[in-house]
Amino acid sequence: MGRRFRGEGLHKVDSKGRVSIPALFRRVIEACDPNWNDRVQPELVIVYGDPRKQHLECYSMEAIEEVDRKIDEMPRGSQERKVLERLFHGLSYPTSIDETGRLVIPAKLRAKINIDKEAYFIAAGDTFQIWDPETYETDQSKAEVWLDSFPEDFDPLTFLDEPGAQT
């Protein structure tokens, strides 16, 4: 896996669904697209099919190719593979960033997550998410309540040392 997304940003969405992607995110998308060059716009894939998610999950080409490889390794015809193929192949939207650093979010995807005039971008490691700002605030409040259930001196980095954590 190559570079990781870091940071956040709140950006205006125009009536056609165009929104600027945070500059740091664009650099990662470019670096993780093996076909990108000065004449070809960088590509990414927006995955929107999981009905439990209230956001769009955006994958660099490198990240989605890793997911595709893992799906290809699964037994053909298995229910797990069928579900993942539907989510990552069928219910996804391949797109590119235009020359001004904007992404067009189709009306169907904007409607799914209730994006109107603004979109909130948040890094998630090898992906980034696009949220309706109010929905993100609500989700973040739930995470803060959960963290508040730990002792005051609790350090979330201890999660990295738990059994099953990657070494």
Residue 81, Ramachandran bin (φ over 0: left; ψ between -120 and 50: alpha; else beta): alpha
Q: pTM (2 decimals)?
A: 0.90
Kindly list the distances between the CA atom of residue 140 and the CA atoms of 63, 122, 129, 130, 135, in Å, as whole numbers in the listed order.
Answer: 25, 11, 13, 14, 9
pLDDT bucket at 107, cuts 50 / 70 / 90: very high
Tens of pLDDT, residue by residue over 38-72, are: 888 999 999 998 999 999 999 999 999 999 999 99
Contact present, 21 and 103 (Cβ < 8 Å): yes
Q: Which domains does the chain have, with CATH numbers?
A: 8-134 (3.40.1550.20)
pLDDT at residue 102, as a whole number: 97
pLDDT at residue 166, as a whole number: 57
pLDDT bucket at 11, cuts 50 / 70 / 90: very high
C-alpha closest to that of 87 among 74, 104, 103, 102: 74
CA–CA dist 159, 167 (Å, integer)? 12
Is pLDDT of 151 > 60? yes
